[in-house]
Amino acid sequence: MKSIKEDILEDMKNTCLTVSFELKKHFRMKRMVISFALAIGLPLIFYIVPRIWASFPETAEEFANLNLSFVNLLIIISGSLFAGDAVVGEFEEKTGLLLFSTPQRHTTIFIGKYIGALLPTLTVVTIYYLTTSLEIIGIYGTEGISLEFFKSFFIALVYTSSAVSLIFFFSSILKRKITSTLLGFFSLMMILPIVSSVLQFLVEVEPWYILTYTEGLITGVFVGATPIGGGPGGQPGQFSPDFYQGITIMVVYTVVLFFLSVFISNRRRME
């Protein structure tokens, strides 16, 4: 009989195996190339277009605010790409018949799949911020990188985790890859922002519990810049999310949806 220590180490090894398999799969399917290209290409638009046709904003904060207003778009696209078919794909394509018959614990497979979707999405966001920071240094010098920029970066990473959790959750409950990917994409892109707008403008209550509402913090920390309202959600609403409450909501979404997804996936059986 194995000791608990050996058991944990074996589970960790198996999880790492699943993560590396998932990463290889994303790489083979060119998802990594597409999303990394987007992470470099999108912020470059904000550099090249003003350089040719217009002028840059007066302050680095305004430039960062403009540029990062669209990072949520990239989070949603890459989150849908990497997490949309993570669990449902195994059931739809019946590849689970091979995977689930291995001696590896099912829980470690699903945790590995989650990490395998989370890591590349976090990398994509990091590349986006890295490109933006290089642009800021190029235009405004190193003093253009403020503490707010780092705040925004870490908030974007937390938001990424919660977005991946939501899409992964859809992947664990739905039966088709396309439905899961589209539902994940559209819920973050349209459905939740619409609900949030309706609550703000028609019901006039603050939708603090809606995930996409808290995403406003990514650019909301640039207090000196005029809100742009780019990306999903459109124009700025009449409320703005509270910093600490927003972060707590993101963490709660991430953790609860992650555990729910793993629990549901574990109980799912091949049909």
Partner 1 sequence: MMSWRGNMRGLIILVIVIILFSTVTNNSASAYLNSTNQQTPFDDFDLTITNLTFSKSEPKEGDNITISVNVSNNESFPIPNEEIPIQNLTLTLIRFEENITERKISMEPKTNSTFDFEWKTVGGRQTITAFLSVETTDSNERAPLDEMSKEIWVEPEPIGDVYSPILALAIIFLVVFGSVTIPSIIAFLTDKNSSRKEK
> Does residue 212 belong to the site contacting partner 1 (CB under 8 A)?
no
Site string (228-247) toward partner 1, x via CB under 8 A: -xx-xxxx-------xx--x
Alpha-carbon distance values, 55 to 29, 44, 148, 150, 267 (Å): 39, 15, 23, 25, 56
> Does residue 11 belong to the site contacting partner 1 (CB under 8 A)?
yes
> Does residue 207 belong to the site contacting partner 1 (CB under 8 A)?
no
Site size toward partner 1, by CB under 8 A: 60
Query: Which CB atom, from 131 or from 152, has the smaller least distance to partner 1?
Result: 152
Site string (38-67) toward partner 1, x via CB under 8 A: --------------------xx--x-----
> Does residue 30 belong to the site contacting partner 1 (CB under 8 A)?
yes
> Does residue 189 belong to the site contacting partner 1 (CB under 8 A)?
yes
Determine which residue in the list 150, 175, 198, 209 makes contact with partner 1, applying CB under 8 A: 150
Site string (119-138) toward partner 1, x via CB under 8 A: --------------------
> Does residue 169 belong to the site contacting partner 1 (CB under 8 A)?
no
Query: Which CB atom, from 151 or from 176, has the smaller least distance to partner 1?
Result: 151
Rounded to the nearest whole angstrom, what is the least distance from the CB of residue 25 to partner 1 in the complex?
A: 10
Transcribe the chain into DSSP letters: ---HHHHHHHHHHHHHHHHHHHHHHHHHTTHHHHHHHHHHHHHHHHHHHHHHHS---SSHHHHHHHHHTTHHHHHHHHHHHHHTTTTHHHHHSSTHHHHTTSSS-HHHHHHHHHHHHHHHHHHHHHHHHHHHHHHHHHHH-GGG--HHHHHHHHHHHHHHHHHHHHHHHHHHH-S-HHHHHHHHHHIIIIIHHHHHHHIIIII----TT-HHHHTTHHHHT-TTSPP---STT-S--SS---HHHHHHHHHHHHHHHHHHHHHHHHH----
> Does residue 7 belong to the site contacting partner 1 (CB under 8 A)?
yes
Residue 262 tokens, joined:
């793993």
Q: Residue 6: is it exposed, middle or buried by C-beta count within 10 angstroms (0-12/13-18/19+)?
A: exposed
Stretch that binds partner 1, among 48-56, 91-99, 147-155, 205-213 (CB under 8 A): 147-155
Determine which residue in the list 118, 125, 188, 199 makes contact with partner 1, applying CB under 8 A: 118
Measured in residues, the chain has a length of: 271
Catalog residues that contact partner 1 under the rule CB under 8 A: 1, 4, 7-8, 11-12, 15, 29-31, 34, 58-59, 62, 73, 77, 81, 105, 107-108, 111, 114-115, 118, 147-148, 150-151, 154-155, 157-158, 161, 185, 189-190, 217, 220-221, 223-226, 229-230, 232-235, 243-244, 247-248, 250-251, 254-255, 258-259, 262
